[in-house]
Structure 1
Amino acid sequence: MTAEFGVLGAVEARIDGRSVDLGHARQRCVLGVLLVEAGRPVAADQLIERVWGERAPQRATGALYSYLSRLRGAVAGAGGVEIRRDPGGYLLTVDPQAVDLHRFRRLMTLARAAESDRSAAALIEQALDLWRGDPFGGLDTRWLSATRRTLLSERFAAELDGNDVLLRLGRHGELLPALSAAVAEHPLDERLAGQAMLALYRCGRQADADERYRRIRSSLADELGSDPGPELRRLHQQILAADPALAVPSLEARASSAVPVAATASVPAQLPADVRAFTGRTGELTALDRLLAPDGDEPPLTVALLSGTAGVGKSALAVRWAHRVRESFPDGQLYINLRGYDAEQPVAVADALAGFLTALGVRGPEIPPGTDERAARYRSELTGRRMLVLLDNASSVEQVRPLLPGTGSCLVLITSRDSLRGMVAVHGAERVNLDLLPPADAAGLLRKLIGVRVDREPEAAAELAAACARLPLALRIAAELAAERTDVSLSELVAELGDHQMRLDLLDAGGDPHAEVRAVFSWSYQNLPSGAARTFRLLGLHPGETAHFDAVAALIGAGDGETRRLLDVLTRASLVQAGRGGRYTMHDLLRAYAAELAARHDPEPERRAALTRLFDHYLAGATTAMATLYPAGEEVPGDPDTARSWIEAERPNLAAVCTSGAAHGWYQHTIDLAATLFRYLDAGGPVTEAVTVTASAVTAARAVGDHASQARALANLGRLHRRQGRLHEAAETYREALVLYARLGEPAAEALVLRNLGSVDWRLGDYRRAADHYLRARTLFGELGDDAGRADALVRLGLVDARLGDETRAARRFTSALELYAELGDRFSEAYVLSLLARLPHRPASLDRAAELLEESLATVRRNGDRTAEAYALTDLAAIEARRDRLAEAAGHLRRALVLLRRIGDRASEAEALNDLGQVLLAAGDPSEARAQHGQALELAEEIGDRYEQARAHDGIADGAGPHLERARKIYADLEVPAAPTLSPGARRRPTEP
């Protein structure tokens, strides 16, 4: 019997054309998960999480077993289909082409590799015909919702690719109606707008094409505050000039064309420089080439693996091949050295994903906090793109699996000393094993590097190659030394190397496979001048992957001229590699060897002094940069762009210094560096590094018993957790800080933490506890004579009153705070409180005064580049405009605020703003779009645990009836609050909050 399965619509199964009863919704969810992961095991706890989310019942495991048993019975008898238990979990064995999702992806992969546009158009049409509606129709869990969005993005990318093909085929007339409808649905998509403009132009409607451009330019300015990208601007100029290049391509041009990358996509080009004097490996290069052009109807492979011993040339081969085929990946190339065999600093999966997302155009604050969420966002960003991903120096399957794209249009090339059998068994990777260079190729590499001396002494050259174990890394080092000593014959050098190999006490008596390589290292090292040898050893202590020239100078304690001379010696000897911007790096084997030498030859006090100088250098640099970016007075002590560039370039090293310092005893450096960097990282730096740096400071402060620094770092870490929407972790961290501040007798800091802890309680819906924390904070602020703090506590207490339905007391507290802010001359806070009064539905407010102050605030924060304050001011201004019944203006402010909130990563305020926008749109007569905004708010509020915003979202989706309304009422009742008014006031950090 033949079986067919579908998820691109309702989850369904057919055996011999007959529909199969798959049971209730939860059971269909289980099958949906297994179909998406067809051929890959899914662990039981992962299945439960995907099917139930956080609402899994106590007996979820038993229910899951029951569902799986019924599903086995439903598909029994279908040939080649089985649900079975594997060591890794539950596995659905099925021909991928029997599942519409995998058939869709295969067809799109074939279409993107098609030799002609006609073939591509037919394949894309087949792929799109498989869709029956929204994926997993009628089913709704958090995982299914996220996967649904990813799949819809894939479909949209396929449609765009199909449009490009049809335009090249000259079918612009028949395509134009569909393009017009799609543009209405996606008004900000520049690639789609460009396709519509081109179709209009080719239909003889040049003026309409110009108008289409003007519309998207206006929409981008209004919604995102940005201009069209260079591709769309160039197309517009071509249309205005009636450029002949816009005519329908000729048959020859169409035959050689490829599906272009989206105009708005970020196109990374991260490959390292190609390898100098690359020699041999023709068989391996040919094997890799075959991956791009498989035999028969099989689609191109998506994962390839280069494996072999250290120093055999895996990275060099991977980089050489990647440069050869980069034109086959027009959407870019991603590269990372995972440092899988670095005992101190292997790259964490979360950090690798953050780097890739940044390269793909995702702003730092938009990068999700968790590894799984980052992996999902990474797969979404790669959907529809044809990219090469080079994962260099991986240590395990676990390190690379989250870095695999979810689309067949990308190729992943992995290098590893390990065989990574799981990649072959589970992911179908094609392995290419690298052995030692053949003797002829080894001699050829030496010939390229040192010239005719190889031909003069062929036997000595062969011995030299053998002494280097025919490993390219060792051959290059030996060749550089031979090139430096032209007065010495190759025979003498070989004899010298043999002597070193006999004397080398680093050799492993048990048979170290790298023994001969170390002998070559030793040979090269022994011939270094003493200063260069010391520099080489100390470089092995650097905790980061690269070091700038200035950092090397600090590490070795030398002046610029001497440092440059020593680095030149090491570069010529191939012991370090010079990179862009004055940065230097080392092969991981050389780094390990250098660290071993440092431990053996440099006394511990000298090693510690060297690292102290290095850490002093990074701390001083960070202090100077931060003083420039955030000056204490009117005068700026340097160039802000230079300061920002320095921090961005050194961020990985600064994080590595904090991690290493906390682990190895440089506690004060870690504490001071984390405190110095916090404001920058909190304002817009990658969340992963902010958390790493701050958590290291907590560890360091605990180690030395510095309770003041520990409390400060905990308070900062709580703020990061709160910003990420990890509210329970934020509360726990704040409480720990609160205990320390109370013990230290620091009431000002204690008051701030109390206030922030109250804000977390507010988000969690515990308003009584929030009020208690706010009251305690107000008391402390009052005892300290801090009127600004007292006013802020009054505002927050007023917010609790408003939430609980006591508008009279809320208005009284807001008014008291307003008077204090007026006395203090704090116009920013005055504007904020006026906007809160405007949100109270039954209270009059000074709308004109509020709008005037908020416009003034907006102008100031925009001049200062404070995106957080700008987002908050926009949401406040939207509340004023909504009260004035200027709904279009309110919606515009909220849309601009949402762009900023996503950039800075303020997920709680984003949920609020989405609900606000939904309410404004509903009032403006657009219920469909209003429900869409509330739907996004609901998903986000559920993720962060903000129950009040969940209730507002359910309320908006319900539109007065149905299960969503019941759900909203239940949450309101649980929270003991009345239903939300329009633009309900929210508790969040004001721009001036410390």
Structure 2
Amino acid sequence: MKELRADIERAGLDTLSGRKAPRARVLLIAGRPGSGRSALAGELVRQVAADYPDGVLRTRLSDPDGTPVPVGRAARDLLDALGEPAPAGAPEDQLGEALRTALAERRAVLLLDDAADAEQVDALLPDNPGCLAVAVSSGPLTGIADVRPCTLGGLDTKSGVELLSRFTGSVRITVDPRAAERLAEQCQGQPAALVLAGGWLAARPKAAVADLAKQLHTDPGAEPMTARLLRLVHDALPQTAARTLRLLALAPAGLVDPHTAAALTGCSVEAAHTTLDDFAAHGLLHSVGSSLPQYRVPGCLHRELLRLAEDHERPAELQLARARMLERTVRLLQSCRAVTETDSPEARQKVLALPRPLRFPTPRAAADWLRLRRPALLAAARLAVADGELDTLARRLMSQLVRAMVAHFGTRGAAGDLYDIHNLVLDVAERRELPRERAAALLNLGDLDARTGRTTEALARYRAALDAGREANDPYATGRAMESVGGAHLELGDYDRAADWFGRALAERLARDERPEAARLYGRIGAAHTYAGRYGEAMRNWRAAVAGHRRDGDVAAQARALSELGRVQEYAGRLEESLRTCREAVEWARRAEDTRLQAALHLRLADSYERLGDPASAALHRSTAGRMLAEEATEGDSEPEHGANACEIRTASAED
């Protein structure tokens, strides 16, 4: 720790050569898994956090199985921790640049745990010498300049004995200090092995330290000491607890809560919670500091637990355990979403029909659970899709995850996660040849691309969705794709193609007698003609939209369509007609109780009266608009977000 603290203040090569340090100082803690490298990094960050007022940002750069985490995902997690928006679906280099921009004026600490290579770390380093990056890795990060690794070996014998005494108490160490020293040496001073040895002794108050040292000596084996001790602990556990321990290797992202453990083993949530607490007390799990009981499987134990599971469980039993875990997650997500539907009697009945452990008391509790379990839920979706044999469960899981996220965070708030989920849906749909779901995933991805300004990419998605919709003979997907293609062309400034595609979508709606959608499409065609300067065609289509909304009794839509008709008439130089249309629109907006539209229309009337040389009437309408906007501001102008349909995952048909 002293060396690391001194290294923070050490002059770098740039400083010695007279140049300003271009990037954050990087500290590297290198060591094998189980050497205490993450614990040392966490303690260092805790000690220096006060010197960095903008906080500590943490992310893991490897999954529990050793797979490197994509840089884009890590950058997005760090941006989320900073509260900075990250564009959905953005490439890695754009996310890395967004992270560097966010940290350009901040003093923060980045803890990059379990880095697989230098490229991962380099892509996340801020161009700000006021920041500090603490990287944890198994070896040197060749390629990052001016980094001196702090390499961890094993603890000295005295420190190893002290670590053992935290579990065994001082009496057993004092009775036989030589045995304790021998055990510490057998563990090669590795903290993880010493913790497992201490936990084994703590669970057996009558066992002497010499008993464990002798057992390890008589059974040397070829495995690393951590693996030997884990097997020893596992074999000494009761059968149910031993099975729970080895099945924890299946927990997504190495994160376990009582529900996950209960589903994996088929026991009650209360029994699973008790077992997990016992494991944490004996060093087999690390408790995650959060408002919900949650634990992390140590990275140095994950592969060994997986080997134990494969040795003791048949493949079919492991697959069944995964399926139970995914099914429990689906039901929790259903409950998480249903608790937000407080106005729906059907939703309340669904919640009451669930077992008590699966219910959330309040929407706030459900949102907190969803936020804290988010990494594990996303990892569960990725693992389910990668498995390839649980696609039905994977589709249900992703459907419920999308709905829960939209219900609690909104479409925009969860856009980054939704983009990843829809890509997973697309993978399953293509693998299983499900054109309806492929169309839905492509539409959702196209919407998210369009929302973040990638209109060309969105257009390609919409065209592919149109082909998939036609293949599935799905009129909903086909019509929606046509309209979306038109919208993309409109955004790209190709107004003729936009009007053409809107017209095709309109023909589909009229053929199915979908009048509200047809009225809306008349308006979109009118907008395309307006942008193209064809005001006659635009007015004709807006009048058709007004008539359609009037027939359907949609007062608010009728008011908005009249507003747009008045705008086009003003563009066309028909000021008197525009005034009459706007006054009619004001009346319909008043009936619809749309204060903002009323205010906008009064401002437009004010502009028109000024052009006609009537300043008194203009001032009257302007003051009326100001009063309306002020009244609405005092009442609060927050509106619920309606974006669930944009991220819908269509349920497969019976044929699928």
What letter matches 1:394 in structure 2? A
**Cα separation, partners in 2 of 1:811 and 1:678, compared to 1, 3 Å:** farther
Q: CA deviation at 1:384?
A: 2.7
How far apart are residue 990 of structure 1 and its match? 11
Determine the C-alpha separation between the residues in 1 that align with 2:458 and 2:270: 49
- Note if contact 1:367-1:374 (Cα within 8 Å) is conserved in structure 2: no
Q: Does 1:596 align with 2:296?
A: no
Match of 2:503 among 765, 775, 786: 775
Deviation (angstroms), 1:588: 1.2
Query: Partners in 1 of 2:143 and 2:100 — Cα distance?
Result: 20
The partner residue of 1:605 within 295, 300, 316 is 316
Counterpart selection for 2:241 from 529, 532, 540: 532
Partner of 1:384, secondary structure, is coil
- Note the C-alpha offset of 1:363: 4.5
Give the Cα–Cα distance (whole angstroms) in 2 for the partners of residues 877 and 419 of structure 1. Answer: 64
Q: Distance in 2 between matches of 1:402 and 1:394?
A: 12
Q: Are 2:64 and 2:253, in contact at CA under 8 Å, matched by a contact in 1?
A: no
Counterpart in 2 of 1:788?
516
Given the superposition, is the C-alpha separation of residues 847 and 499 from structure 1 closer, same or farther in structure 2, using an over 3 Å criterion?
A: farther
Q: Which residue of 2 aligns with 1:360?
A: 82
In structure 2, which of residues 148, 151, 157 is the aligned counterpart of residue 439 of structure 1?
A: 157
Partner of 2:617: none
Query: Residue by residue, what CA displacement relative to the aligned partner does 1:146-170 show, whole Å, maximum 9, x if unpaired?
Result: xxxxxxxxxxxxxxxxxxxxxxxxx
Aligned to 1:288: 4
* Counterpart residue identity of residue 314, structure 1: R
Structure 2 CA distance, aligned partners of 1:713 and 1:531?
42
How does 1:501-650 map onto structure 2 within 5 Å? 501-502=220-221, 507=223, 515-579=224-288, 580=290, 581-629=292-340, 633=344, 637=348, 639-650=362-373
Tell me which residue corresponds to 2:356: none
* 1:334 paired residue among 54, 57, 60: 57
CA deviations 1:253-303 (Å, max 9, x no partner) are: xxxxxxxxxxxxxxxxxxxxxxxxxxxxxxxx1111113434698789711
Task: Check 1:484–1:736 CA distance in 2 against 1; reply closer, same or farther (3 A cut).
Answer: same
Query: Which amino acid in 2 is paired with 1:287?
Result: E
Letter in 2 for 1:801: H
- Structure 1 residue aligned with 2:210: 491
Give the one of 390, 405, 412 matched to 2:126.
405
- Corresponding position of 2:611: none
Contact 1:350 1:688 in 2 (8 A): no
Instruction: Specify whether residues 721 and 632 from structure 1 end up closer, same or farther in structure 2 by C-alpha distance, changes over 3 A only.
Output: farther
Shift in CA distance, 849/287, structure 1 to aligned 2, threshold 3 Å: farther
Unaligned runs of 5+ in 1: 1-284, 508-514, 861-872, 907-988
**SS in structure 1 opposite 2:533?**
coil
Distance (Å, rounded) in 2 between the aligned partners of 1:857 and 1:292: 63
Provide the residue aligned with 1:317 in structure 2: 40
- Tell me whether 1:662 sits opposite 2:371 in the alignment: no
The answer to whether the Cα contact below 8 Å between 1:658 and 1:669 also exists between their aligned partners in 2 is no
Give the corresponding residue for 1:671.
Answer: 395
Q: Any runs of at least 4 consecutive aligned residues in structure 1 with deviations exceeding 4 A, and if so which?
A: 295-301, 630-636, 848-860, 876-880, 886-890, 903-906, 989-992
Aligned counterpart, 1:809: 537
CA distance in 1, matches of 2:497, 2:486: 7
Kindly indicate whether the alpha-carbon contact (under 8 Å) linking 2:450 and 2:488 is maintained by their aligned counterparts in 1.
yes
- The aligned amino acid for 2:51 is S
**1:722 Cα deviation from its structure 2 partner:** 1.8
- Choose which of 64, 73, 81 in structure 2 pairs with 1:351: 73
1:615 deviates by 0.7
How far apart in 1 are the matches of 2:642 and 2:94?
Answer: 14
| From 374, 380, 383, the counterpart of 2:101 | 380
CA change 1:811–1:525 in 2 (3 A) is same
CA contact (8 A) 1:748 1:781 kept: no
Q: Is residue 475 from structure 1 mapped to residue 228 from structure 2 by the alignment? A: no
CA-to-partner distance for each residue in 1:845-878, whole Å, 9 max, x for gaps? 5435545766887879xxxxxxxxxxxx78x965
Shift of 1:805: 0.8
Calculate the TM-score normalised by the size of structure 1. 0.56
Shift of 1:642: 3.2
Deviation at 1:602, TM superposition (A): 0.8
**Corresponding residue number in structure 2 for 1:451:** 169
Aligned to 2:461: 733
Shift of 1:494: 1.1
Change (3 A) 1:701 1:415: same
2:606 to 884, 891, 905: 884
1:849/1:614 CA distance change after superposition, 3 Å: farther
Deviates more, 1:733-742 or 1:682-691: 682-691
**Matched residue of 2:149: which SS?**
strand
- 2: distance between equivalents of 1:641 and 1:444? 44
What amino acid is aligned across from residue 154 of structure 2 in structure 1? L
* Per-residue deviation, 1:518: 1.1
> Distance in 1 between the 2:264 and 2:217 partners?
33
Structure 2 residue corresponding to 1:422, chosen from 133, 140, 143: 143
User: Measured at CA, do residues 380 and 477 of structure 1 come closer, stay the same or move farther in structure 2, by a change above 3 Å?
Assistant: same
Tell me how far apart the structure 1 counterparts of residues 418 and 219 of structure 2 sit (CA, whole Å).
47
- In the aligned structure 2, how far is the partner of 1:304 from the partner of 1:620? 44
**2:470 matched to 1:742?**
yes
Asked whether the 8 Å contact 1:801–1:809 carries over to 2, the reply is: yes
Task: Report whether the alignment pairs 1:847 with 2:565.
Answer: no
| Conserved? CA contact 2:88–2:449, under 8 Å | no
With over 3 angstroms needed to count, the CA separation of the structure-2 counterparts of 1:877 and 1:623, relative to structure 1, is farther
Of structures 1 and 2, the one with the larger relative CO (CA 8 A, separation 6+) is: 2
Name the aligned partner's letter for residue 358 of structure 1: D
Equivalent position SS for 2:134: strand
Q: Which amino acid aligns with 2:320?
A: A
Deviation of 1:621 after TM superposition, in Å, equals 1.9
Where does structure 2 lack aligned partners over 5 or more consecutive residues? Answer: 352-361, 608-621, 651-656
Displacement after TM superposition at 1:396 (Å)? 1.0
TM-score (norm 2): 0.82
* 2:585–2:601 contact (8 Å) kept in structure 1: no
Secondary structure of the equivalent of 1:415? strand
Distance 1:519 1:828, change over 3 A: farther
Aligned-pair CA distance for 1:376: 2.2
Match of 2:113 in 1: 392
1:573–1:692 Cα change, 3 Å: same
Number of aligned residues: 592
SS at match of 2:252: coil
Q: Evaluate the alpha carbon distance shift between residue 831 and residue 498 of structure 1 in structure 2; reply closer, same or farther with a 3 A threshold.
A: farther
Question: Aligned partners of 1:676 and 1:991: how far apart in 2?
Answer: 11
Q: Aligned partners of 1:687 and 1:310: how far apart in 2? A: 35
Amino acid at match of 1:342: D
Distance 1:582 1:741 in 2: 44
* Distance 1:629-1:854 versus aligned 2 partners, 3 A rule: farther
Query: What do the CA deviations read for 1:499-545 (whole angstroms, capped 9, x no partner)?
Result: 4543x7xx3xxxxxxx2221122222222221111111111012224
Contact 1:701 1:709 in 2 (8 A): yes
CA distance in 2, matches of 1:814, 1:990: 25
Residue 100 of structure 2 aligns to which amino acid in structure 1? R
Q: Which amino acid aligns with 1:359?
A: A
User: d(CA) in 2 for partners of 1:754 and 1:479?
Assistant: 66
Flag the 1:851–1:331 CA change in 2: closer, same or farther, 3 A: farther
Whether contact under 8 Å (2:264, 2:322) holds in the other structure is: yes
1:465 is matched by which residue type in structure 2?
A
Contact in 1 for aligned 2:89/2:419 (Cα 8 Å): no
Does the aligned pair in 1 maintain the 2:327–2:393 contact within 8 Å?
A: yes
Which one of 687, 704, 707 corresponds to residue 415 of structure 2? 687
Contact 1:468–1:520 (CA<8 Å) still a contact in 2?
Answer: no
Once the two structures are superposed, residues 534-593 of structure 1 have per-residue CA deviations (whole angstroms, 9 ceiling, x without a partner) of 111111012224222222212221112321232133222211122221111111121221
- Percent identity, aligned pairs only, is 27
What's the C-alpha RMSD, in Å, of the aligned pairs? 3.3
